[in-house]
């Protein structure tokens, strides 16, 4: 997987990009794909091409020129606080001061240091991974797995669930469709995690699906995981049942992925691999496994086989 080799990772010359001046968590690398911006009539009809996802930066050419000719001027501009309008909170502090500094650090130490790379990315993306992760603020895939811009097509939702094909359109399967059919990713990675509020909501609901809330309606996608967990963990505490369901739900999502004909076809042909994983942020460990399609049998009562299981700690 050439794109993730160390040699191809960016050189972060200023460690402060990773370690902000405060001890607050790193919020500098947004990873949530705003699928609403992508799903358009052309995408639905299959006419979309990679240029529709271009990260447009009208001033970049000028910026590049400035960088080569007038570095001191550029530096002044990057630090010119007076040009920025502060967004003050009621308490008088600026919520965006830290975020702004992180962005400028990224621009100065990452973007400007890798202009050729970002120039290519501006024209097209070719990520190896499609990632489905929870919306939980503690499980940002780019932070915990080091995905750099262009390496992972990411969709995040409550409890990192993949609804089955029959459930109809959603932002998650729209992102899957684009990643698999247009970007032709080689891997789909579903990341579950510890203390997942969405899974807790799933395990807390009544047997008849709660429809009075958006959360209840959404997490009901994982009802099979809940049923399997309840059957396997009757003697365990509720907290441990939830932990069990966090992994069971990932496996249900892997099975649901295969309900999409264009995914199963590629998995069957060896063009696409689908992986489950589990990030435990209470211990900072990461477990991953790969669906073994050939050894699995998805008929009723069949078996779910995995391979290449690994535990990183």
The answer to whether the annotation marks 136 as part of a ligand binding site is yes
The answer to whether the annotation marks 245 as part of a ligand binding site is no
DSSP SS3 for 306: strand
x/- track of binding to Zn ion for residues 228-267 (CB under 5 A) = ----------------------------------------
Which residues inside 143-202 make contact with Zn ion, applying CB under 5 A?
A: 196, 198
Shortest Å, Cβ 196 to Zn ion: 3
The answer to whether the annotation marks 242 as part of a ligand binding site is no
CB closer to Zn ion out of 154 and 272: 154
CB 110 within 8 A of CB 116: no
String of b and e for 46-72 (b: at least 16 CB within 10 Å)?
Answer: eebeeeebeeeeeeeeebbebbeeeee
Q: Which stretch binds Zn ion (CB under 5 A): 82-90, 121-129, 130-138, 282-290?
A: 130-138
String of b and e for 135-168 (b: at least 16 CB within 10 Å)?
Answer: ebeebbbbbbbebbbbbbbbbbbbbbbbbbbeee
Total length of the chain: 313
CB closer to Zn ion out of 287 and 292: 287
Shortest Å, Cβ 193 to Zn ion: 6
CB closer to Zn ion out of 128 and 246: 246
The answer to whether the annotation marks 134 as part of a ligand binding site is yes
- Please report, for the chain, how many H helices and E strands are present, in that order: 12, 6
CB 268 within 8 A of CB 293: yes
Phi-psi region of 6 (alpha: psi -120 to 50; beta: other; left: phi over 0): alpha
Token pair recorded at residue 211? 């429809």
CB closer to Zn ion out of 153 and 278: 278
Shortest Å, Cβ 279 to Zn ion: 10
Residue from the set 111, 131, 136, 220 that interacts with Zn ion by CB under 5 A: 136
Strand locations in the chain (E): 129-134, 152-157, 187-193, 273-280, 285-291, 306-312
Which residues inside 87-116 make contact with Zn ion, applying CB under 5 A?
A: none
Residue 134 in the binding site for Zn ion (CB under 5 A) = yes
Shortest Å, Cβ 192 to Zn ion: 8
State how far the Cα of 108 lies from the Cα of 99, in Å rounded to an integer: 14
**How far lies 53's CA from each of 34, 42, 147, 153, 281, in Å?**
11, 12, 18, 11, 32
CB closer to Zn ion out of 132 and 255: 132
State how far the Cα of 199 lies from the Cα of 171, in Å rounded to an integer: 19
CB closer to Zn ion out of 100 and 195: 195
Number of chain residues interacting with Zn ion (CB under 5 A): 4
x/- track of binding to Zn ion for residues 194-213 (CB under 5 A) = --x-x---------------
Half-sphere exposure of 179 (CA within 13 A, CB side): 30
Shortest Å, Cβ 27 to Zn ion: 18
Shortest Å, Cβ 166 to Zn ion: 24
Residue 43 in the binding site for Zn ion (CB under 5 A) = no
Give the binding site for Zn ion (CB under 5 A).
134, 136, 196, 198
Binding site membership for Zn(2+): which residues?
134, 136, 193, 196
């Amino acid at each position: 997987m050439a794109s993730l080799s160390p040699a191809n990772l960016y050189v972060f010359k200023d460690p402060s990009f990773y370690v902000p001046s405060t001890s607050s968590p790193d919020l500098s690398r947004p990873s949530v794909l705003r699928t609403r911006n992508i799903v358009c009539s052309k995408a639905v009809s299959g006419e979309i091409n990679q240029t529709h996802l271009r990260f447009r930066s009208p001033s970049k050419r000028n910026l590049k020129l400035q960088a080569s000719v007038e570095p001191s001027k550029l530096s002044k501009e990057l630090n010119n606080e007076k040009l920025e309008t502060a967004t003050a909170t009621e308490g008088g502090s600026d919520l965006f001061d830290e975020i702004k500094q992180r962005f400028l650090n990224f621009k100065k130490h990452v973007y400007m240091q890798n202009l050729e790379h970002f120039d290519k990315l501006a024209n097209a993306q070719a990520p190896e991974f499609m990632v489905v992760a929870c919306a939980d603020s503690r499980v940002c895939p780019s932070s915990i797995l080091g995905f750099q811009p262009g390496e992972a097509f990411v969709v995040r939702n409550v409890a990192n669930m993949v609804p089955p094909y029959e459930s109809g359109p959603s932002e998650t399967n729209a992102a899957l469709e684009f990643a698999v059919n247009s970007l032709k990713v080689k891997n789909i990675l579903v990341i579950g995690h510890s203390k997942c509020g969405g899974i807790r909501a799933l395990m807390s609901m009544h047997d008849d699906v709660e429809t009075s809330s958006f959360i209840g309606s959404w997490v009901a996608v994982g009802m099979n995981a809940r049923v399997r967990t309840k059957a396997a963990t009757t003697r365990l505490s509720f907290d441990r049942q939830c932990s069990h369901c966090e992994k069971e739900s990932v496996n249900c999502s892997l099975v649901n992925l295969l309900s999409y004909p264009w995914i199963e076809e590629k998995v069957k042909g060896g063009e696409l691999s689908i992986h489950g994983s589990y990030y435990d942020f209470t211990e900072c460990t990461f477990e991953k496994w790969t669906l073994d399609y050939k050894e699995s049998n998805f008929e009723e009562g069949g078996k779910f086989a995995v391979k290449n299981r690994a535990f990183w700690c």
